[in-house]
A and B are shown apart, each in its own frame.
Chain A
Amino acid sequence: MFSRIFKRKSYPKYWLDYVEKVSTCEKYYNYESIRFVVLDTETTGFDYENDRMLCIGAVAIKNNKILVTDSFEVYIKQDVFNKETVKIHGIRKNGTETKMSEEEALIAFIEYLDDAVIIAHHTAFDLNMINTALRRINLGPLISKQLDTNYIYKKLSPKNRHNKVFSLDNLCNEYGVTMHDRHTASGDALLTALVFLKLTNQYKKNNALNIFDLVNTNYNLNK
């Protein structure tokens, strides 16, 4: 009760820590030491205000390796329930997964995220979802650097395909990534991570691999 009154003035420690770490992080200058967090969310729908996140799944990449130890998967208790999307993500209202409140999930995620660079496929959507949720607890938005495999792919593709949007399925097919656990947050995060590794390997044949150029592939995010 007490903390709620003062929330706008004094931010919780985990948030201050996060802001501090990202702003002072020096790892970005050395690509091999950057920690990337590849994430995906499953949601009740596409409306940022009315729909809710059901699950956040993420896995870290460092020095071109996907670290399964450094992964994240939470399921969120839901007040908003949309039975239409259940058939896509398979998360029921009272399913068997252990669930936490949205706030608990966000705290856990912020602590997990740390100073990492965020990667997703269609990052704007997942980030908007997370940021809207953060706003509900008077925090946010996230200040981490962000990459989008869709944009990196467009940058690399020989033809000018700026107007086309590529789905994760498109990229998995193109790069020969076998699809498993599609439409589970963690499963999609892993697929995105594999696509990212393949993309950056291709990328560095013609470019020196550094985070700033990668970030620049994405003219929509990171403004």
Chain B
Amino acid sequence: MKNTIAERIFDFLKDFPPFDILTKEQLFLIAANVKVVYVEKDRVVFKQKELPHENFYIVKDGAIGLYRTLDLDSILVDICDEGDIFGLRPLVQNDHYLMSAKANEESILYAISVEILKEIIQSNDKVSKFLIASFSTNIKTPYANNNYGQLFANVDTLEGNNTNLSDFQTAEYSKNPITCNKKTSIKEAALIMSSNRVGSILIVENKNPIGIITDKDLRLKIATGLVSIDEKVDQIMSSPVITVSDKITTSEAQIAMLKHKITHLCITKDGTPNSELCGIMSEHDIVVLQGNNPSVLIKELKRAKNIETLRYIRQKTSKLLKGYIEQKIPIIFISNIISEITSALTIKAIELSILEMETKPPVKFGWLALGSQGRKEQLLITDQDNALVFENVFDEDYKTTKDYFISLSKKITNKLNTIGFEYCPANMMASNPKFCLSVNEWKNKFNKWITQPSEKSIMMCTIFFDYDLVYGNKKLVDKISKSIFKSIKSYEIFLNFLGRNALINPPPLGFFRQFLVENDGAHKDQFDIKSKALMPLIDAARLLCLSHNLKNENNTIKRYVNLIDIEPQNKDLYLSCIDAFKILLRFRTEQGLKHNDSGRYIDLKNLSKSEKLKLKGAFKPIKDIQELLNIRYNLSQMM
């Protein structure tokens, strides 16, 4: 029998963990047995020490405060809002309530029978541990093997497969279409088209498109002498026009054009001819968009002869990134493609610069990408961090060699800047004499950083350790890596310093599970997703890999994958870190694209509830990995 009410409740529950990991049948059974409870502000749902009700609760609307009373003091322990569950632990453990629950505002709760849940727990082992431990107490989430991938509500849906990328991209179109009204003469219209260098003009009435004239109409109807150029445009316009909404994808647009045998589509506000015109899309726009795919871009890149082409390709890459993010392409795939293009751009910039030098490089050298580019995690355009290493030379040749590479580096960084990678404000670039060094100089530098750790040298390590050879001789880099591990081995306490650095930013959630935001400065009250959420995961992965002598991989996700091989006992924790990192990286990229900035600072007010939940879900592993570092490196004693 149809049950509309239960369906409605099902729709609400299915978005929230743990209900999202239940089967459809199980969740429907729960939904059909819900009791809907309305509580006014300040009404108590249950009291501390009370015997448990037969139901636990999920907040539908409003907010419930959980209070713990000690002697006479009542302390607010947690606030549950939409989608949060409370009052479950005592039911499962047959214990008294340890806290009181009181409505902080008028609320609607769904009361769910624990008996039904118990049945499901018995039949669905996946749900059980996760549910009981992570939702009814504050102990950390048990990363049971079998529920990997389901800790976060969104991983599976995010990582869907999409093979034919450009087909699903939202089509680009011209947002300022050239228009005239129907009383315009054909000659005038042709003049407007010529002066705007377009192949079509739209005829509008009350802002709605009513017809279109293209070059083809002028050729077939005017040049042939069928109609005089002094007639009004409505004599030759094609009408009505085919309209679509701006949400149309490339393939849909193509199909619409083929179906109507036309070359232009009008974009209107609601997609119908009776609404305001907002743009026009031509067959040409689609061809251009299809050119926006990675293999085409790389081909173009290889053919590029000047810096302007590179700049243009970099801009196209940004569009590509936007399309990928909108289409929810897996973040690993996106970051692979974007880093490939970034590397290719850098290589081209280096090649073009070498051509500009009067002589060939005197000795072998290597160009290193640092930081996020070195980790292949750079998605949005950020500033450049790079360094150069050249072969050891005799003292008498040193100066000329170094001068050569510095002037080469200046050309390269200049070109990268033109392409769109801004200069590093801290001057961490190969054009800086401090970072354009011979193999031995680099060895000494790293050795010094490692054996004389200071706050500054540790910071340098976190940036320079993630180096990746983009161009040049790999042997030079291998020598440096080898030397670094030797230094670390002889001075192991360095790892503890690195560990301390990794814990500088505590887990991003406060005691009340609220976000920790910036207290002052330009980004007051905004959430710094880079330093508060991404860096802790990046730092932890680097430290753990260094401790295992792993230097071949810089990418954070791949680092965790390698760590799983070495420490299978921590597999679940590392998997959860990978998930969290993917979610956070995507989130930052989305924010950056949305606000056209680095995406680093997030205004929490602009986030939806589900976005906040998504973020909070990704924070748990940060806390857990930091605990692991704390114990492993005995950091509490160093702090």
Interface residue ranges, A against B (CB under 8 Å) = 57, 59, 64-69, 71, 73-75, 97-98, 176, 178, 180-181, 184-187, 189-190, 193-194, 197-198, 201
Residue on A nearest B55 in the bound complex, by CB:
A65
Other A-B pairs beyond A201-B38, A201-B40, 8, CB < 8 Å: A66-B35, A66-B36, A71-B3, A73-B1, A181-B8, A190-B5, A197-B38, A198-B38
Report A-chain residues with C-beta under 8 Å of the C-beta of B180. none
Mark B28-61 against chain A: 1 for CB-CB distance below 8 A, else 0. 0001111111101000000000000000000001
Mark B401-428 against chain A: 1 for CB-CB distance below 8 A, else 0. 0000000000000000000000000000
Interface residue ranges, B against A (CB under 8 Å) = 1-6, 8-9, 31-38, 40, 61, 106, 108, 111
Given A194-B38, A201-B40, A68 and B4 contact (CB-CB distance below 8 Å): no
Given A71-B6, A181-B8, A187-B8, A64 and B1 contact (CB-CB distance below 8 Å): no
Pick the contact of A194: B4, B34, B36 (CB < 8 A): B36
The answer to whether B4 touches A187 (Cβ under 8 A) is yes
Residue on B nearest A200 in the bound complex, by CB:
B38
Pick the contact of B31: A66, A68, A184 (CB < 8 A): A68
Residue on A nearest B6 in the bound complex, by CB:
A68
For B2, B5, B8, the residue with the greatest tally of chain A CB atoms inside 10 Å of its CB is B5
Pick the contact of B33: A64, A69, A178, A181 (CB < 8 A): A69
Inter-chain CA distance A209–B632, complex, in Å, is: 62
Report B-chain residues with C-beta under 8 Å of the C-beta of A57. 4-5
Inter-chain CA distance A57–B7, complex, in Å, is: 14
Report A-chain residues with C-beta under 8 Å of the C-beta of B9. 68
Q: Give, as a whole number of angstroms, the nearest-CB distance from A90 to chain B.
A: 11
Inter-chain CA distance A37–B4, complex, in Å, is: 16
- Can you show 24 pairs from A to B with CB atoms below 8 A apart? A57-B5, A64-B38, A65-B37, A66-B35, A66-B36, A68-B32, A68-B35, A69-B33, A73-B2, A73-B3, A74-B1, A98-B1, A98-B2, A176-B61, A176-B106, A178-B61, A184-B4, A186-B5, A187-B8, A190-B4, A193-B36, A194-B36, A194-B38, A197-B38
Residue on B nearest A198 in the bound complex, by CB:
B38
Report B-chain residues with C-beta under 8 Å of the C-beta of A184. 4
Q: Give, as a whole number of angstroms, the nearest-CB distance from A200 to chain B.
A: 9
The answer to whether B111 touches A65 (Cβ under 8 A) is yes
Inter-chain CA distance A187–B9, complex, in Å, is: 11
Q: Give, as a whole number of angstroms, the nearest-CB distance from B505 to chain A.
A: 38
Q: Give, as a whole number of angstroms, the nearest-CB distance from A193 to chain B.
A: 7
Residue on B nearest A178 in the bound complex, by CB:
B61
Residue on B nearest A67 in the bound complex, by CB:
B35
Q: Give, as a whole number of angstroms, the nearest-CB distance from B419 to chain A.
A: 49
Top 8 closest pairs, chain A to chain B, by CB: A66-B36, A186-B4, A197-B38, A65-B35, A68-B34, A69-B33, A190-B5, A186-B5
Q: Give, as a whole number of angstroms, the nearest-CB distance from B609 to chain A.
A: 13
Q: Give, as a whole number of angstroms, the nearest-CB distance from A174 to chain B.
A: 13
Inter-chain CA distance A98–B2, complex, in Å, is: 8
Pick the contact of A73: B4, B31, B33 (CB < 8 A): B4
Residue on A nearest B38 in the bound complex, by CB:
A197
Report B-chain residues with C-beta under 8 Å of the C-beta of A97. 2
Inter-chain CA distance A140–B610, complex, in Å, is: 50
Given A65-B36, A69-B33, A194 and B108 contact (CB-CB distance below 8 Å): yes
Report B-chain residues with C-beta under 8 Å of the C-beta of A71. 3, 5-6
Report A-chain residues with C-beta under 8 Å of the C-beta of B32. 68-69
Q: Give, as a whole number of angstroms, the nearest-CB distance from B315 to chain A.
A: 43
Residue on B nearest A193 in the bound complex, by CB:
B36
Report B-chain residues with C-beta under 8 Å of the C-beta of A65. 35-37, 111
Q: Give, as a whole number of angstroms, the nearest-CB distance from B531 to chain A.
A: 38
For B2, B34, B106, B111, the residue with the greatest tally of chain A CB atoms inside 10 Å of its CB is B2
Inter-chain CA distance A176–B111, complex, in Å, is: 20
Given A68-B33, A73-B1, A201-B38, A190 and B8 contact (CB-CB distance below 8 Å): yes
Report B-chain residues with C-beta under 8 Å of the C-beta of A176. 61, 106
Inter-chain CA distance A139–B37, complex, in Å, is: 36
Inter-chain CA distance A181–B4, complex, in Å, is: 8
Report A-chain residues with C-beta under 8 Å of the C-beta of B111. 65
Inter-chain CA distance A215–B510, complex, in Å, is: 50
Report A-chain residues with C-beta under 8 Å of the C-beta of B4. 57, 73, 181, 184-187, 190
Report A-chain residues with C-beta under 8 Å of the C-beta of B3. 71, 73, 186
Report A-chain residues with C-beta under 8 Å of the C-beta of B38. 64, 194, 197-198, 201
Report B-chain residues with C-beta under 8 Å of the C-beta of A67. 35
The answer to whether B108 touches A68 (Cβ under 8 A) is no
Report A-chain residues with C-beta under 8 Å of the C-beta of B37. 64-66
Inter-chain CA distance A194–B9, complex, in Å, is: 14
Report B-chain residues with C-beta under 8 Å of the C-beta of A197. 36, 38
Inter-chain CA distance A119–B477, complex, in Å, is: 79
The answer to whether A68 touches B40 (Cβ under 8 A) is no
Q: Give, as a whole number of angstroms, the nearest-CB distance from A94 to chain B.
A: 16
Report A-chain residues with C-beta under 8 Å of the C-beta of B35. 65-69
Report A-chain residues with C-beta under 8 Å of the C-beta of B6. 68, 71
Residue on A nearest B111 in the bound complex, by CB:
A65
Report B-chain residues with C-beta under 8 Å of the C-beta of A64. 37-38
Inter-chain CA distance A220–B145, complex, in Å, is: 64
